[in-house]
Structure 1
Amino acid sequence: MRYYNVLVLAKGKKHQVIIQSNDKKEAIEKAKLKQNGIVLRVEETTMPVEEKLKALKSELLSFKKGKIKRQHLIATIRQLAVMTNAGIPIHDAIVEIANSTASDKLKQILLDIGENINAGISLSQAMERYKDQLGNLTLTMVRLGEQTGDMASALFTLANILEQIDENVRKFKKAIRYPLITLTAMAIAFTILITYVVPKFKSIFEKFHAELPLPTKILLWLEHAFNTYGPYILLGLVVGIFTISFVYKTNEDFKYTMDKFFLKIYLLKKIIYYSQLNRFMLIFSELVKAGIPVVDALDNSVQMVDNSYIKQKLEIVKNMVEKGSSIADAFKETGLFENMIIQMITAGEASGQLDAMLAKITEYYGMKFNYILDNLSSYIEPIMLAIIAAMVLLLALGIFLPMWDMAKVVGQH
């Protein structure tokens, strides 16, 4: 979400309001509705201080607040689709699901939506208030269901898309679990050795007044830092990680810089690239197949991309298609897609089978993403072996080199 400083003329007076929205056009519409006036100027601005404080408070107290898990949302949409397909009224279905869900936050949202529907508001209008929790994709598919009169089909499609996204996230977490556990164990073992083993040799080294080798100096420096400033180092790491995480979530420029940097890191760049394009193509192909206009499908698909750098590139596609360009030309302009993908889209547009081609492209990116995850261990093992070797070498040289020199001195006497 972005922030806009909007100057509005209402009742003969000028008012400045800060509007939070996805784009400039949406900000103008929100300002008109909020102030009931004429918009004179719109400028993008940074997050207001009070909003930053709210975000910080939310971050600090997030463990106390109920959050909607993706699994709960998928289960709710799937149940709603089944009950709607069975002919149960939307209001009754939502209330029934609200009373049976395990998420307190989701229960509150569903009950409020049910009350609004009972008051004569449409389902999409009732959900609009909870766009941040439910997502743009959910609102788009609900609107499609209302327009076509086939809400069950739209909800089934939505559930399938979200389940595929959730499956990819779970695959990624499962793939990195082993490397993370291994690296954590290595870090703990190294810390224990530095903290408890190296001091045993420190007294011996102090009696040996000769010049110590560099590995030994590094070990002694680490031992002094860990034993003297250990709690402060740990606190600094925690505060640093939290600060970076908070700034990453709240500062668009910082997030863009970091996201672009991530795409230059070995292996991580491939994981991010294929996962983000797979998600984008999955949603885009499903929305086009469901009958959503291409521009709207692109808009919703782009919003589901997490990486800011890739997202900015994909927005080029939406802007060019809005101006009348072909999808193939727009995709080519981004520089994200290989020539084979451009040719497939060109063929799909020419033959009128764009949805089929998009499905094939989605399958291709899914295959690439799964291949990387399935072979993640083989990619990471050389890195972990190098780290282990460096740690063992540092400990061995740091401890045994000076002892070897001491043995030579003793032997000479």
Structure 2
Amino acid sequence: MKYYEIEVLLKGKREALLIKAENRQEALHLCKLKKGGVILKIKETAPPLEERIKEWKEKLLVFVKQSKVKPDSLIAAIRQLAVMTNAGIPIYDALKEIANSTMDRNLKEILLKVSEDINSGMSLSESLENFTYELGSLTITLIRLGEQTGNMPEALFTLADILEEIRENVMKFKKAIRYPLITLGAMAIAFVILIMFVVPKFKSIFERFKAELPLPTKILLWLEHTFSTYGLQVLGGFILIISLIIYLYRNNEDIKYKIDKYLLKIYLIKDIIYYATLSRFTLVFTELVSSGIPVAEALDSSVAMVDNSYLKEKLEIVKVLVQRGVSLTEAFKETGLFENMIIQMIAAGESSGQLDAMMRKISDYYRMKFNYILDNMSSYIEPILLTIIAGLVLLLALGIFLPMWDMASAVKGR
């Protein structure tokens, strides 16, 4: 909705009205209904402050309430739906039954709303698009595949298998980073305790001698002052900044794009995102092509489920070029995302007429690379962990002992 400021001449007096409407014509029509008179001027204007605050509050409320469905609950519901549709039970009845049996309150509300939409004439995929964040774009894409091919049970079983694989990978990732996170957490707590309770003891000694302190000691004293004076403010500010970044990431496309692009430059994280994204993209594309969906349409659905904005932009190049009549090999090559071996495999699949079989091998290759990273996560993280721990220990040691050595030397020099 837009806001229009309209100046009206009514009974010899000028009046200014603020009208909320979809477009200029609707604003003029509403103005004539409300006031009549002669319209002198109309211009689009910014929403009033109270409306902007109200809109911001509504978005914030949605952001706070919005939460993804638990993977276990979603997988169980999809498998139930696959079995019931395979048995010939109508989707409306199946959704109602699953909603009544699930213990996940969020999923229950979604299924009941979807069943109402289906009863009113909407398709399953159209209704589920309203819950893309909660269910994931992969779920929507595979269910749309089932509608297009007319084989919903097979699409649902495939979706459940893919989601189970993703869940296992997430569990492996959490297991791999559990030890480093616990170690870093313990080190951070120990560091804060030393800063808060040990450094102040030395602070009085340093102040007594009034000597020039080295940089590590100044850093420790600054940290001690910050934590003791502004500890709660720093913690609150940190939480606020993280929450703001998450909110903007979900609601601002430009910021999401910049963050997604930056993440692809960070050590280890870039490989995890890259291989996870391409593994899912090639897998979904393979399933769509194998089911007889045209390549251009399969690309459209596969690209739509990519979460990383930067990679999505690159992969959309493939979709655009294929729609223009460029070969799939050249289109994939143009993105710059795929290594030469993958391009050669796609070319071989195109020339032999076995594109789906070759794409399945490519999907397996990316899955293997992704699983290898997860299986060796500890060896990748250990150097970073050791560097951080060494840096903290070195800062504490130099910050405390350097001035002590200087003071001892000064005393001996007397």
Q: What TM-score do you get using the length of structure 2 for normalisation?
A: 0.82
Q: What's 2:332 paired with? A: 331
Asked whether the 8 Å contact 2:169–2:374 carries over to 1, the reply is no
| Unmatched runs of 5 consecutive residues or more in structure 2 | 3-22, 28-50
Measured after TM superposition, the shift of residue 294 of structure 1 is 1.9
Q: Aligned equivalents of 1:343 and 1:118: distance in 2?
A: 48
Q: Structure 1 residues 373, 143: closer, same or farther in 2, change over 3 A?
A: closer
Q: Cα gap change, 1:250/1:112 in structure 2, threshold over 3 Å: closer, same or farther?
A: closer
CA distance in 2, matches of 1:13, 1:206: 71
In the TM superposition, residue 335 of structure 1 has moved relative to its aligned partner by 0.4
| Structure-1 residue corresponding to 2:224 | 223
Q: TM-score when scaled to structure 1?
A: 0.82
In the alignment, which residue of structure 1 is the partner of 2:8? none
Amino acid at match of 2:270: K
SS in 2 for 1:313: helix
Deviations 1:211-240 (A, max 9, x none): 222221221111111111111111111111
* Pairwise CA distance, 1:115: 4.1
CA distance in 2, matches of 1:355, 1:264: 31
C-alpha contact (below 8 Å) 1:85/1:152 kept by paired residues: yes
Alignment pair present for 1:210 and 2:214: no
Q: Which residue of 2 aligns with 1:366?
A: 367
Note closer, same or farther for the CA distance 1:15–1:295 as it changes in structure 2 (3 Å cut): farther
* Mapped contact 2:333–2:343 kept (Cα < 8 A): yes
Which moves more between the two structures, 289-298 or 184-193?
A: 289-298
- 2:70, 2:161 → 1: CA distance? 16
Partner in structure 2 of residue 159 of structure 1: 160
The Cα shift of 1:310 comes to: 0.7
Match of 2:245 in 1: 244
Query: 1:55 is matched with which residue: 29, 53, 59?
Result: 59
Q: How does 1:395-410 map to 2 (within 5 A)?
A: 395-410=396-411
Q: How far apart are residue 375 of structure 1 and its match?
A: 1.5
Q: Which letter maps to 1:189?
A: A
Tell whether the 8 Å contact from 1:263 to 1:273 is kept in structure 2 after alignment.
yes
What is the aligned partner in structure 2 of residue 186 from structure 1?
187
Percentage of identical aligned residues: 65
Counterpart contact for 2:141–2:302, Cα < 8 Å: no
2:42 corresponding residue in structure 1: none
1:75 aligned partner? 76
Following superposition, the deviation at residue 283 of structure 1 comes to 1.5
Please report how far the alpha carbon of residue 243 of structure 1 lies from its aligned counterpart in structure 2 after TM superposition: 1.3
Residue 244 of structure 2 is aligned to residue 280 of structure 1: no
2:171 is aligned to 170
Q: Alpha-carbon deviation of 1:338?
A: 0.5
1:180 is displaced (CA, Å) by 2.3
The residue type equivalent to 1:371 in the other structure is Y
Name the SS of the counterpart of 1:393 in structure 2. Answer: helix
Distance 1:124 1:399 in 2: 63
Alignment check: 8 A CA contact 2:214 2:403 kept: yes
Alpha-carbon distance in structure 1 between the residues aligned to 2:141 and 2:230: 53
Amino acid at match of 2:290: K
Q: Do the aligned residues in 1 keep the contact of 2:68 with 2:133 (CA within 8 Å)? A: no
How far the C-alpha of 1:79 sits from its partner, in A, is 0.6
Once the two structures are TM-superposed, the CA of residue 340 in structure 1 deviates from its matched residue by 0.6
SS in 2 for 1:68: coil
Q: Who is 1:114 aligned against?
A: 115
Is this contact kept in 2: 1:165–1:279, CA < 8 A? no
Q: Which runs of 5+ in 1 are unaligned?
A: 5-11, 17-47
1:128-143 to 2 correspondences below 5 Å: 130=131, 133-143=134-144
CA distance in 2 between partners of 1:405 and 1:148 (Å): 79
Q: 1:109 to 1:407 in 2, by over 3 A?
A: closer
Distance 1:75 1:318 in 2: 33
Report if aligned partners of 2:67, 2:134 keep a CA contact under 8 Å in 1. Answer: no
One-letter amino acid of the structure 2 residue matched with residue 275 of structure 1: A
Determine the structure 1 residue equivalent to 2:272: 271
Q: CA deviation at 1:149?
A: 3.8
Q: 1 CA distance for matches of 2:254 and 2:205? A: 52
- Which AA in structure 1 matches 2:307? D
Question: Contact between 2:285 and 2:299, CA under 8 Å: does it hold in 1?
Answer: yes
Amino acid at match of 1:54: E
Whole-Å separation in 1 of the counterparts to 2:62 and 2:228: 35
Residue 30 of structure 2 is matched in structure 1 by none
Amino acid at match of 2:296: V
Rounded to whole Å, the distance in 1 between the matches of 2:61 and 2:127 is 27
Using the alignment, how far apart are the partners of 2:232 and 2:151 within structure 1? Answer: 60
Identify if the C-alpha distance between structure 1 residues 377 and 355 changes in structure 2 by more than 3 Å, giving closer, same or farther. Answer: same
The residue identity in structure 2 corresponding to 1:217 is K
- Shift in alpha-carbon separation, 1:247–1:370, aligned structure 2, 3 A: same
- Count of residue pairs brought into register by the alignment: 372
Q: What is the CA–CA distance in structure 2 between the aligned matches of 1:178 and 1:342, rounded to whole Å?
A: 39
For 2:125 and 2:308, the matched residues in 1 are separated by 27
Q: Do the aligned residues in 2 keep the contact of 1:81 with 1:155 (CA within 8 Å)?
A: yes
Q: Which residue of 2 aligns with 1:24?
A: none
Aligned AA for 2:251? T
CA distance in 2, matches of 1:367, 1:154: 23
Q: SS at 2:69's partner residue?
A: coil
Flag the 1:115–1:251 CA change in 2: closer, same or farther, 3 A. closer
1:128, 1:139 within 8 Å by CA — same for their partners in 2? Answer: yes
Q: Provide closer, same or farther for how the CA distance between residues 144 and 408 of structure 1 changes in structure 2, counting only shifts above 3 A.
A: closer
- Would the alpha carbon gap of residues 321 and 366 (structure 1) be closer, same or farther in structure 2, given more than 3 Å must change? same
Aligned-pair distance for 1:154?
2.1
Aligned 8 A contact 1:66 1:103 in 2: no
CA separation in 1, counterparts of 2:222 and 2:97? 63
In 1, the alpha carbon distance for the partners of 2:388 and 2:115 equals: 56
* Aligned ranges 1:321-400 → 2 under 5 Å: 321-400=322-401
> Quick one: distance in 2 between partners of 1:279 and 1:148?
20
Task: Confirm or deny that 1:100 pairs with 2:101.
Answer: yes
